[in-house]
Amino acid sequence: MTIETVLSAQRAFFATNATKSIAFRKAQLSKLRAQLKANEALLFEAIYEDFHKSVFETYATEIGFLYHEIDVALKNLARWSKPKRLWSDIANFPSFSYIVPEPLGCVLVIGAWNYPYQLSLAPAIAALASGNTVVLKPSEIAPRTSSVMASLINSAFEPNTFCVLEGGVEETTAILAHAFDKIFFTGSTAVGRIIYEAAAKHLTPVVLELGGKSPTFVLADAHIALAAKRIAWAKFLNAGQTCIAPDYIVVDKRIKGLFIEALKREIATQFQDIEGENYVQIINERNFKRLHDLAQIPLVSDKTKRLIAPTLIEEAQWEDSIMSDEIFGPILPIIAFDDLEEVIATVKARPKPLACYVYTQSKINAQKIIDELSFGGGAVNDSVMHLTNSRLPFGGVGASGIGSYHGKYGFDTFSHHKSVLVKWSRFELSLKYAPYTRWKYRVMQRIFG
Ligand code: NAD
């Protein structure tokens, strides 16, 4: 199927208003849930082939997450879609006003490979819940998961409602030549710019879910053992190929030694057997090589299996090459500090990250870091887990992205909030009409000051 056929079918179908009915939207979401549920084995198999992700990890970070997003939307959809009635101001007396969310139309979702199901299907769920039609282009970098999504979705859905088109740069470029009502992109900042430019040609609004270097602060009063446990899990989950993974640590130098010891113990407990089921491959040779070049130290790795062991860079400096770009792999630089103000200023001078984490028992210090730094989202005494709370918007700021989603925020992202004023016809104030007399001007001054 070509993008031209799919898009014209979706435009024609959207114009019938069928997608606006709550029952229709719920039916699409239920169908998607049932299709995923019935084919879990295929989904697990494909992701294992792409990068050895285990069933547990796939369920916890991808499939379970999607079921939750669908269930939240099914439960709340009718309420979210209701018009919100508001008071009008005095200039419009007598009247009332309301805001009603309406679907945007035909939207394009471009997914990333690192959580291929979650990052392709969660935006699609939000778009369907809001009554849009969806063209989904998953990442070609994870070819089996892309192909399994194409076959499961294209066999269950009418292409005029939800359709997967596969492909790489060439196919995506061709898709981007067309006008959509919104483009939702997850991926790198570099490609984000290309998407933004293509969208600008059609004045298409975009959501850009990008990356960045997410700092993790470990202060002197942190609960060291627990901080190490949570950080080790969040960093080495998916072999560090997580957009909100702690990219680097800044640790108070008084506890640096103890923290590194605790981190090593946790790595040994959680990820000792890198060839086993609990550890994930690097997605491809290009990234395997990129990580070796970036680290500039010998890594414990296996080229044929594309495995890189969890690696700490214990004496990292701000000027190191590892501190220049997002790592997106299982390498964790650790920088010691002795002045919190100074380290906050250094982080603040860098591009705004997607996430930020603070480990401390001091509410004041945690609040200070949260207030002073701008970042997409984050956590105090945890990492990554803020993403799992569907009541929180998920997205970046500045260089880490534009817009957000999850739960109600996803619904709003794919809706236009239409504002309507309803005037009564029983009487009419003559103030606004010509002739513009002096007393009318005085009355206006009294109203507006
Ligand atoms: P990428 O930017 O290379 O690719 C993402 C998508 O863009 C793919 O579908 C790909 O086919 C398409 N694409 C690539 N080059 C293109 C081009 N020239 N023209 C048009 N389309 C093109 O990103 P990636 O390697 O898949 O993912 C890694 C990056 O994504 C990291 O920076 C990571 O932090 C970020 N990321 C962000 C989030 C988030 O939610 N904010 C989630 C996951 C990953």
Residue nearest to atom 37 of ligand 1 (CA): 210
Domain span at 123: 3-210+400-417
**Degrees to nearest 5, angle at CA 54 with 51 and 56:** 145
* In-domain check, residue 426: no
Q: Residue 294's domain is classified under what CATH number?
A: 3.40.309.10
What would the pLDDT profile of 222-277 be if each residue is shown by its tens digit? 999 999 999 999 999 999 999 999 999 999 999 999 999 999 999 999 998 889 88
* In-domain check, residue 285: yes
In terms of domains, do 122 and 249 share one?
Answer: no
| Pocket of ligand 1 contains residue 210 by CB under 6 Å | yes
* In-domain check, residue 79: yes
Residue nearest to atom 34 of ligand 1 (CA): 211
In terms of domains, do 237 and 324 share one?
Answer: yes
What would the pLDDT profile of 134-182 be if each residue is shown by its tens digit? 999 999 999 999 999 999 999 999 999 999 999 999 999 999 999 999 9
Res 423: pLDDT: 94
Cα(318) to centroid(ligand 1), Å? 26
Residue nearest to atom 10 of ligand 1 (CA): 139
In terms of domains, do 157 and 226 share one?
Answer: no
Cα(360) to centroid(ligand 1), Å? 33
In terms of domains, do 137 and 79 share one?
Answer: yes
Q: Which atom of ligand 1 is nearest to the CA of 113?
A: 26
Give mean pLDDT, residues 62-76. 98
Give mean pLDDT, residues 182-192. 97
In terms of domains, do 378 and 406 share one?
Answer: no
| Pocket of ligand 1 contains residue 188 by CB under 6 Å | yes
SS3 336: strand
In terms of domains, do 92 and 162 share one?
Answer: yes
Q: Which atom of ligand 1 is nearest to the CA of 211?
A: 34
In terms of domains, do 204 and 223 share one?
Answer: no
> 144-161 b/e with 16+ CB inside 10 Å = b?
bbbbbbbebbbebbebbb
Res 319: pLDDT: 96
* In-domain check, residue 422: no
- Residue 427 predicted with pLDDT over 90: no
Mean predicted lDDT score pLDDT of the chain:
97
| Pocket of ligand 1 contains residue 145 by CB under 6 Å | no
> 364-396 b/e with 16+ CB inside 10 Å = b?
ebbebbeeebebbbbbbebbbebbeebeebbbb
In terms of domains, do 328 and 270 share one?
Answer: yes
Cα(210) to centroid(ligand 1), Å? 8
**Residue 429: band (very low, low, confident or very high) from pLDDT cuts 50, 70, 90:** confident
* Dihedral, CA of residue 135, residue 140, residue 141 and residue 142, to nearest 10: 80
**Residue 101: band (very low, low, confident or very high) from pLDDT cuts 50, 70, 90:** very high
Q: CB neighbours (10 Å) of residue 284? A: 15
Cα(191) to centroid(ligand 1), Å? 6
In terms of domains, do 175 and 234 share one?
Answer: no
What would the pLDDT profile of 71-97 be if each residue is shown by its tens digit? 999 999 999 999 999 999 888 888 999
Q: Which of 191, 201, 214 to mutate to test the pocket of ligand 1 (most atoms within 8 A of CB)?
A: 191
* In-domain check, residue 27: yes
* In-domain check, residue 449: no
Cα(111) to centroid(ligand 1), Å? 7
Q: Residue 34's domain is classified under what CATH number?
A: 3.40.605.10
Q: How far apart are alpha carbons 290 and 306 in whole angstroms?
A: 12
Res 90: pLDDT: 83
Res 93: pLDDT: 86
* In-domain check, residue 334: yes
In terms of domains, do 108 and 52 share one?
Answer: yes
Q: Is 89:413 a contact under the CB 8 Å cutoff?
A: no
In terms of domains, do 31 and 115 share one?
Answer: yes
In terms of domains, do 193 and 301 share one?
Answer: no
Could you list the active site residues?
Answer: 209, 243
**Count of structural domains, the chain:** 2
* In-domain check, residue 445: no
